[in-house]
Chain A
Amino acid sequence: MRIVILKAGATLLTVAATVLSALYVTAHLKNPAAPLQPTVLNASRGASVSAPGGTLTLGPSVQPSTAHPVTSTYAS
């Protein structure tokens, strides 16, 4: 009988902790409007420029320039 009471108590305690945690988390969302998609999906639609032969896309950390390039990446 004592074992059954202990098992039931432990189960109740676990269920209660789970339910209370879920309620707490739901009530304390930091930003309910936060997008679930990774920002990378937006980046792929970012600054793309079509040029003869292909498409060039620049992420935010790479700046275009009008300077004459000292060298270039190429197929060797």
Chain B
Amino acid sequence: MHPEAPVQAHHFEALGTNCSLFGIDLSRGKLLEGEFWVRRLGARLTRFAPDSELSHFNSSPGAWRDVSPELESLLRESLRAFETSAGLVNVAVLRSMEAVGYTRPLSEGRPVATERRACPVPALVEVLAVRRGAARLEPGAGIDLGGIAKGWMADRLRDSMGPNVLANLGGDLSAGGAGPAGDGWPVGIGGATVLLREQGAATSSVRRRRWGGEHHHLIDPRTGLPARTGLEEVSVVAANGVEAEVVAKTALLVGPELAPAYCAAHALAWWLSPEQ
């Protein structure tokens, strides 16, 4: 039995959720550096702040606009997610989210439920173009990076903070190194504990961020409405955080009949929870 190394942990609230950073042989300063990086980038990527980089991008459609390397990378990741999920993971859901009332952070109070009216979600590849240092959004479209940003940021933290690190940003997590006992980082998924090593995990769920009865934050791009597929929660382990996020969301959207085969093809472990 390998003796367990002490784990340095740091918890904070950012990105509208709870975040945790863990490390072996990691200084307090390094953990704080990680927190500040999350806060700085989160402030630039939120759709709720009118002066964020993402909000400026959303409000200036129809022309090429300079974007930071981080936003460029995330937009490219979003296009990749759109392709690998056959269009089910589509960050161009902003107008649909606004149509169902999700116009402010939940920390500022529950959104006001609006009448259910579908707002069609355009195909991302038709409304978003990215080139080196710039991107262009078609008029009428809007981007909400959502879980992709959290998974992507967790992966960057894993790569930059040290060789033995676990980053958990609101359930989107990324683990690097051998963990405290040398066999991986023990992480809870679906009521069990698994060991993650150079892997990521994420949960997609419609059980939280709900309002007005049937409204919730996960939009099905096929209908433009909050998803109702027969699955309520999917957790996934994959090669990294952003991939886990994309696979979990896709599995939830394809529903209980296809999700097991889809996860078997794209995930390393998965938890499927049907509607109660």
Contacts and interface: CB of A to CB of B under 8 A. Distances in A.
Given A70-B180, A71-B168, A54 B193 contact: no
A43 to B, nearest CB: 5
Interface stretch (A1-9, A12-20, A23-31, A59-67): A59-67
Contacts of B235: 73
A64 B17 contact: no
Contact of B194 (A44, A51, A62, A75): A62
A58 interface: yes
Interface residues of B, number: 56
B61 interface: no
Given A44-B260, A67-B186, A74 B203 contact: yes
Given A41-B264, A57-B260, A76-B170, A51 B191 contact: yes
Q: Which 5 A-B pairs have the closest CB atoms?
A: A72-B188, A75-B205, A54-B273, A76-B170, A44-B264
Contacts of A69: 186-188, 193
B194 A63 contact: yes
B242 to A, nearest CB: 13
B171 to A, nearest CB: 4
B192 A51 contact: yes
Interface string B196-216: 100101111101110000000
